[in-house]
Amino acid sequence: MTQKKETLITVLSLIITLGILGGGYWFFTRHTQDNPNNLISSPSSNNQPLSSNTTLPSPPSPASVTAFSPPKTVPQGTIVSINGSTSMVLINEALKNRFEQQFTGVQVSTNAQGSTKGIQGLLEDRIDIAAISRPLTAEEQEKGLVAIPVTQDAIAVIVGVNNSFRKSLSSTQVKNIFQGKIQNWSEVGGASEAIKVINRPSVSGTRKIFAELALNSENFGNTSNIITLDRDATTPILQQLGSNGISYATYTQVADQQTVRTVPIDGLTPEAANYPYTRTLYYAYKNPPSEAVKAFLGYATSPTGQQIIQDAQ
């Protein structure tokens, strides 16, 4: 074969190869434009169903959505007002003292008129933070309120230190006592003496949660031996227990009291991990949060704040 023929064959081969490549490129690009979902489609394409093996991103947790950063500085003159659950008095005071100590010129005012009163104050812009011992309702959330969990606590069933009943109550017995179905201590293995039930007012978040946990969300009894107080406070309850009374309170408020005893429930004391009457305590605020609210809640939910809360309990 002559050199000219060899050169001609090489050139023709090159032209054919380029033609094939060019045609393939044209077909690929044209087909992709006409139907972009057919080639190199992403698993997250809107037009492609996700397979059962596809890993989806995790939704943000409530903690990450409502988290506030621990404050490094807080402007002098900052004021934070808190009202709400009597169950959080010790927590509020402990955080207030340390927060004011760490940030000079900052003032935290606290009150405890019950969870409902705290929420009302929040909705009416009279306070900055509501301390509540129950979750927010859907209606309250629709009004712009947000709650972040602060800690967990137990609700203790309590009797006076001079009460002769020194046994455990079953969950069923507790329910029947607070619904007025059991009215004498002899019915639960105690002395023959009338049971005086001391209940909290309807504004109490502790009352609402106790009804959910102990009464299966049913109503308290309306019998003559059940006394409902006008004010949501623990001290008047302790004063009225006497030798035959029974009530309930945040465990941290009564654990060190010398005038009362906690009653085991199903053989479990409030310190037990599986104690049945355990609930979450919250701080609630109104969206959008002020800088003062962000600072205090960032402090309360920080490792430092959580340690303060644990020590207060």
In tens, the pLDDT along 82-124 reads 999 988 999 999 999 999 999 999 999 999 999 999 999 999 9
Dihedrals φ, ψ of 163, to 5°? -70, 135
Mean pLDDT of 278-304: 96
CB atoms within 10 A of CB 290: 14
pLDDT of res. 23: 52
Please enumerate in sequence order all residues whose Cβ is within 8 A of that of 248, keeping only pairs 6 or more positions apart, or say none.
Answer: 155, 156, 157, 158, 200, 206, 210, 214, 277
Structure tokens at 277: 């009457």
Contact 220, 226 (CB under 8 A): yes
Residue-level length of the chain: 313
Segments in 103-183 forming alpha helices (H): 115-123, 138-142, 171-178
Cα torsion angle, 267, 270, 275, 277, sign: positive
Element (H, E) at 227: strand 226-228
Q: How confident is the model at residue 13 (pLDDT cuts 50, 70, 90)?
A: low
Distance (Å, whole) CA 227 – CA 29: 82
Mean pLDDT of 266-282: 95
Q: What's the topology of domain 63-152+280-312?
A: D-Maltodextrin-Binding Protein; domain 2 (3.40.190)
pLDDT of res. 149: 95
pLDDT of res. 16: 52
Instruction: Give the burial class of 187: count Cβ atoms within 10 A of its Cβ; 0-12 exposed, 13-18 middle, 19 or more buried.
Output: middle
164 pLDDT above the threshold of 50: yes
257 pLDDT above the threshold of 60: yes
| pTM for the model | 0.67
Q: How confident is the model at residue 59 (pLDDT cuts 50, 70, 90)?
A: very low
pLDDT of res. 201: 94
Contact 153, 301 (CB under 8 A): no
Q: What's the topology of domain 153-278?
A: D-Maltodextrin-Binding Protein; domain 2 (3.40.190)
DSSP state of 160: E
Dihedrals φ, ψ of 159, to 5°? -135, 165
**What are the boundaries of each domain within the chain?**
63-152+280-312, 153-278
Q: Tokens 């137990």 correspond to what residue? A: 154
